Amino acid sequence: MKQFNHNTLRKALAAVCLAACATATAGTQSLQVLHWWKSASERKAVDLIAQRLGEQDVGWHDGVVPSGSGVGAGIVLRSRMLAKDAPEVAQLNGIVIRDWAQLNLLQELDAVAIAGNWNKLLLPAVASTIEYDGHVYAAPLGVHRINTLFYNRKLLQRLNLPVPATWPEFERVAARLQQAGIVPLAQSSEPWQVATLFETIVLAEGADLYRNLFRQRDAAAYADPRLARALGRLRAIKRWMGSPIRERKWDDSVRELVGNRAAMMVMGDWAKGELVTQGMAVERDFGCAAAPGTERYHLFNVDTLSMLGTHPELRAAQEKLAALVLTPSLQVDYNAIKGSIPVLRNAGHMKMDACARASWKLFNSGAEAQVLSLVHRMSTDETVRDAIVAEVHRYFLDDSVTAADTQRRLAAIARTSTKTR
């Protein structure tokens, strides 16, 4: 079922949109931007965009979501639309762009894309994520690799331990770390973080399985023994996460690595930006590798900004922001801070560290390596995504829930969703 594809909601939001347009303040040259970037490195990246936008005589009015999550941002955006208080710009990633475009609530950016030659400028895999029904509805900022293993070099070197390339090797390394009084894996029990770890474990079982589960939503795939193995691994590695496993923000887990209290972390490469902002250096203090068993795959999401159609008198300012996002200088500087890689075909490697160069090389190796993230809204309807995340989280927290039961419940979600998509 598509989250927003409902006639009643469509009419209500369209009415709100018209009302908002009628009450907008004429002549305003400031754009309120709704987003969920709250960590130190994310704030630094946002400040860079705001500064460059200000140089073009357009203000950036920050509308950061208190929860700091994509789920919270969606709730806030819908509430504000209904309250006739819509922002001019919103961070909408992946499938969510399509959902809002279907409601005719986003500005088409076709003119900006044509003027900027985006069809030749953008990486093809990125271009496909911002288009719907032949039109462009978002400006892409950067590509994040989700299946990244970050490791504290000092701690591994102290015990003469290798960077684990497989999950069995991870188990051996984790056992040695734990014996030395070091938490092997920094991990939060927050639902999306648990699900992010899980999707990388599933990917290690094969990209074909991952795509059948989360892109094709093939109900039969949920009976695959490889999914049972992935669920078993998720539960088995809980013992390496410290006790108790607390619900905390992802940047709090990053600080565990910075403080030498934890040795490893599986997270998207926004964690790299935070590690650097916290004073660590790539290669000297920490390294990044593929999450065990996923070295051939680039599980990714794309950060994007969409322009809401609620204030047509601000369209010129919105288009300035969209054009700015794709300038080479902003792409290079922004992604160096954020931890991601540029969305441009010819980004070059001048400001790319070793982690970024490896990500860039793999992402550009072809479609077989590129895998759309479930958790980070690239592959599956929001409603289905939320249901899957909830089931995985339930399994993670409650040891009495069996893998077989979780497989059946996930298959039921897939069967329901394939009837209505």
- DSSP secondary structure of 74-127: HHHHHHHHHTT---SEEE--THHHHHHHHTT-B---HHHHHHTTHHHHB-HHHH
Cα dihedral 317/320/322/323 (nearest 10): 170
Beta carbons within 8 Å of 57's beta carbon, 6+ residues apart: 29
Mean pLDDT for the stretch of residues 29-36: 93
In the predicted model, is pLDDT for residue 46 greater than 50? Answer: yes
Q: What is the pLDDT of residue 171?
A: 97
Beta carbons within 8 Å of 262's beta carbon, 6+ residues apart: 152, 182, 183, 184, 185, 186, 242, 253, 256
Beta bridge partners of 142: 303
Ordered domains of the chain (ranges, CATH): 7-143+301-364 (3.40.190.10), 148-299+372-420 (3.40.190.10)
Q: What amino acid is encoded at 203 in this protein?
A: L
In the predicted model, is pLDDT for residue 26 greater than 50? Answer: no
Distance CA 205, CA 215 (A): 15
**pTM given for the model:** 0.90
Token look-up 């399509």 returns: 98
In the predicted model, is pLDDT for residue 420 greater than 60? Answer: no
Q: What is the pLDDT of residue 18?
A: 36
Question: Phi, psi (5° rounding) for residue 341?
Answer: -115, 155
User: Residue 22 corresponds to which tokens in the numbers above?
Assistant: 């009628």
Mean pLDDT for the stretch of residues 127-145: 96
pLDDT confidence tier of residue 23, bands split at 50, 70 and 90: very low
CA end-to-end span of the chain: 5
* pLDDT tens readout for residues 144-188: 999 999 999 999 999 999 999 999 999 999 999 999 999 999 999
In the predicted model, is pLDDT for residue 338 greater than 80? Answer: yes
User: Residue 60 corresponds to which tokens in the numbers above?
Assistant: 């950036």
* pLDDT tens readout for residues 67-120: 655 566 678 888 887 777 789 999 998 999 998 999 899 999 999 999 999 999
Burial class of residue 240, CB neighbours in 10 A (0-12, 13-18, 19+): buried
Distance CA 46, CA 360 (A): 22
Distance CA 133, CA 380 (A): 17
Question: Phi, psi (5° rounding) for residue 315?
Answer: -60, -40
Q: Are 35 and 91 in contact (CB under 8 A)?
A: yes
Distance CA 53, CA 57 (A): 7
In the predicted model, is pLDDT for residue 374 greater than 90? Answer: yes
Beta bridge partners of 372: 300
* pLDDT tens readout for residues 256-311: 999 999 999 999 999 999 999 999 999 999 999 999 999 999 999 999 999 998 88
Q: What is the pLDDT of residue 4?
A: 34
Q: What is the pLDDT of residue 209?
A: 97
Q: What is the pLDDT of residue 380?
A: 87
